[in-house]
């Protein structure tokens, strides 16, 4: 997948991949429709960071979820 273009499809792909990687319990709270391409670069950065790690501490998980929350559109 080419993530160079800020498209809705790429946003959906990254959000779904992050949810799968983090095994989020309440995955419905992080629907891709809640995100726009406005903060695309930040989302790509977060996606790349999550994908290159194998495990996360509870505090890291909290920080990632908080960051995702801040990237949601109002």
Mean pLDDT over 55-64 rounds to 90
- Give the count of beta carbons closer than 10 Å to the beta carbon of residue 72: 14
Residue 25 has pLDDT above 80, yes or no: no
**Is residue 50 within 8 Å of residue 18, measured between CB atoms?**
yes
> How far is Cα 59 from Cα 62, in angstroms, rounded to an integer?
5
Q: Could you tell me the pTM of the whole model?
A: 0.83
Question: Nearest-CA neighbor of 72 among 11, 13, 19, 6?
Answer: 11
- Identify the burial level of 5 via C-beta atoms within 10 angstroms of its C-beta, where 0-12 means exposed, 13-18 middle and 19 or more buried: exposed
Query: What percentage of the chain carries pLDDT values higher than 70?
Result: 92
């Amino acid at each position: 997948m080419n993530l160079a273009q800020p498209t809705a499809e790429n946003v959906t792909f990254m959000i779904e991949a992050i949810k799968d990687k983090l095994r989020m319990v309440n995955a419905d709270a992080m629907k891709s429709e809640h995100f726009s391409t406005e903060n695309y670069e930040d989302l790509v950065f977060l996606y790349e960071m999550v994908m290159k790690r194998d495990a996360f501490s509870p505090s890291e998980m909290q920080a990632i979820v908080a960051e995702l929350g801040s990237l949601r559109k109002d």
